[in-house]
Amino acid sequence: MALGFIKRLSSGSAPYVTLGILLLPLAYLLSAATQDSSRFNDLFLVIFGLGIATLLLLMAILGRSLFRLYRDFKSNQAGSRLTVRLVSLFVLLILVSTTIVYSFSMHFLHRGINSWFDIKVEQALNDSLELSRTAFGIRMRTLLRQTRMMAGLLNELPAQDVNHNLHELSKLSGAIELSLWTMDGQLITSSMESTVIFIPSRPSETIFHQLETQDSYISLDPDQDNLQLRAAVLLPPKQGILQERFLQVIFPVNDRLSDLGKTVQDAYTDYKELSYLRKPLISVFTLTLSLIVLLTLLASMWFAIWISRRILEPLQALAAGTQSVASGNYDTQLNVSGHDEIGFLVRSFNQMTQRLTHARNATEHSHHLLEQQTNYLTTVLGSLSSGVITIDNKLFLRTANIASSKILHLNLQQRLESTLDRLSVQTPHLVGFTQLIEQKIALGESWQQQIELQKKKSLQTLMCRGTQLPNDTGWVIIFDDVTTLLQAQRNAAWGEVARRLAHEIKNPLTPIQLSAERLQHKYLPMLPADQSSTLTKLTNTIVQQVEAMKNMVNDFSDYARNPGLQLQLQPIGKLISEVLTLYQSNSSHQFILLKSQQEISINIDSVRFRQI
């Protein structure tokens, strides 16, 4: 519970307010005890309590600051090590300087107090007091004899003349007061120098007691501002007067002599008092100085920690900002707390982060544009039918589009950063391709060449072109598979030949067909029935074969494309009979013809069927 109270007391602004409240009465009490050492015993407990409370509060504040510093140091907070180093230097400087000042102060304190009680000073005071007493003694004895003489004169006078002569004696002696008293304390007569005071001062009991045993009394009494001598003398017995009488005379003391005597007496009294309070006085000053030094030391240590934090706070913020920038947060901005060198450093840091932010934004924008261009280029290269690859000056494969992998029948995307030699080793059918590229790159000029690659079952013809990239950073190789193109060119050439040949073949077919039809038309009515049947059959065969040859010639003229089928519903038996008629004249063949009772028709291309 006490620790919780101290923790609450040492946090926020409460400890500093409490410290001020404790220091004010403590400083006042220490000052009062120093000025009047006799009050030290009365104020000791209060001073001790306030001092302990102030020390505990200062230790709590200092302990809290030290704990925070230790925690920051252990957690490797930015600037904590520099703070510890600076605080250590401050504390060392404070300890050394405070120790030196405290040692010399204690030495001078004891030496100064002891110098007050020098034996020569004490002897001088005693001699001065003795001299003053001697001077006053001589004066007092003189006045006492004078008082005896006046008492003798008054005793010889008749009672009625005493009062008048008393006034005369007062003037002659220079006394300020003469009064005649009985031993019972009754005033007989008096003479006063003052015109204001009419009642003489009553003798003290000491005078009555001393006159009972002695015949005279004299003393030095203080007045309002000065000293005065009081003398009293018994009058001798006289006939007719039963009561004893005494004369009291008060003489003034010279002002100069009074002042000197009073000064010597006061100085001696003060010296004796100081001599009596010598050890308490040393204790008071020692305790006061020690307490002040201890409070100053603790306060200075706390102030050293506080000022170190204040000095290094901008540097700690700068270190934290630097770590933030190092982690990639370029938007970090620090608060500028002054116009000194540290403020200039903070402003420079803010300007640097602003420039870094602008540079990062520009870089991100450029990177975004580069990504767009790269994506665009990748899309373009991916949509090209031509193969495109890039090679650096060390013959490492850097990029390859999809078409290049399809043309070379090799996944080049998985072989990026490979050399051409390694590609040729892994894929032997690309040896000629890689060797051609190496040879052309060695020449250092743009080139174009056709190359044939031997695959397992066929040849592949590639048209290759190479161009050097800007700034001599590598080469771009573009190649196309022209195998199909070359085949199409050959087909086109053969098609042209076929069209021309078909034209030459087709020209005589029409006269042949017309001649056969004319023979049938002219000689069919003239021949017998069996010969007519044979003629009809033969001429029909000629006409059909001519039509078939025309179709073949038309198909041959379209050599570049496959002819389509002309499917029609045809009687299969009739087609077979027509084909057999063409081969009946060949004696090396024997045919067995089976005829069905029902005619069978199928979808068939009759021309292609006859060709079979």
Per-residue pLDDT at 1: 43
Q: What is the pLDDT of residues 79-103, one digit of tens each?
A: 667 777 777 887 888 888 888 888 8
Instruction: Judge whether 560 lies within some domain.
Output: no
Pair 412, 372 in one domain:
no
Helix runs in 239-397, H state only: 255-276, 278-326, 341-383
157 and 220 share one domain: yes
Query: In 10 A of CB 544, how many CB atoms?
Result: 19
551 part of a folded domain? no
CA distances from residue 436 to 364, 433, 448, 463, 467 in whole angstroms, order as listed: 41, 5, 10, 12, 14
Residue with tokens 């592949």: 460
User: What pLDDT score was predicted for residue 176?
Assistant: 81
pLDDT tens digits for 502-537? 667 766 777 777 777 777 777 777 878 777 787 777
**Residue-wise pLDDT tens digits, 394-439:** 888 888 888 888 888 888 878 888 888 888 777 887 888 888 888 8
Please give the residue range of the domain that contains residue 430. Answer: 384-481
Cβ–Cβ under 8 Å, residues 516 and 539: yes
Q: Are residues 211 and 147 in the same domain?
A: yes
In this prediction, residue 602 carries a pLDDT of: 79
Query: Is residue 373 domain-shared with residue 408, that is, in the same domain?
Result: no
Q: Which of residues 437, 462, 481 is at a domain's end?
A: 481
Tally of CB atoms within 10 A around 61: 24
Q: How high is the pLDDT of residue 5?
A: 47
Task: Name the domain boundary from 481, 500, 516.
Answer: 481
Measured CA distances, 96 to 62, 83, 89 (Å): 19, 20, 11
**178-192, 234-248, 287-301, 498-512: range with lowest mean pLDDT:** 498-512
- Judge if 353 and 388 occupy the same domain: no
**Start-to-end C-alpha separation, the chain:** 119
Within this chain, do residues 388 and 378 fall inside the same structural domain, yes or no? no
Identify the pLDDT of residue 3.
45
Q: Are residues 304 and 410 in the same domain?
A: no
Average model confidence (pLDDT) across the chain: 75
Domain assignment of residue 497, yes or no: no
What is the Cβ-side half-sphere exposure of residue 559, based on CA atoms within 13 angstroms? 20
377 and 307 share one domain:
no
Average pLDDT (218-230) is 75
pLDDT at 40: 58
**Residue 535 lies inside a defined structural domain of this protein:** no
Q: What is the pLDDT confidence band of residue 211, given thresholds at 50, 70 and 90?
A: confident
The region of weakest confidence among 105-119, 206-220, 282-296, 544-558 is: 105-119
* pLDDT of 30 above 60: yes
- 576 & 605 share domain: yes
What's the count of helices (H) and strands (E) in the chain, helices before strands?
A: 17, 12
Instruction: Dump pLDDT digits (tens) for 346-363.
Output: 788 888 888 888 888 888
Question: Is 124 within the bounds of a domain?
Answer: no
Does one domain contain both 251 and 290?
A: no
525 found inside a domain? no
Residue 129 located in a structural domain: no
Give the pLDDT confidence score for residue 2 in this predicted structure: 43
Q: Are residues 180 and 287 in the same domain?
A: no
For the chain, the maximum distance between any two Cα atoms, rounded to a whole number of angstroms, is 242
Tell me how far apart the alpha carbons of residues 192 and 171 are, in angstroms, rounded to a whole number: 10
Residue 547, domain member (yes or no):
no
> CATH number of the domain that 448 lies in?
3.30.450.20
How many structural domains compose the chain?
5
Model confidence at 296: pLDDT above 50: yes
Among 314-323, 396-405, 482-491, 580-589, the minimum mean pLDDT is found in 580-589
Q: Does pTM top 0.85 for this prediction?
A: no
Co-location of 171 and 253 in the same domain: yes
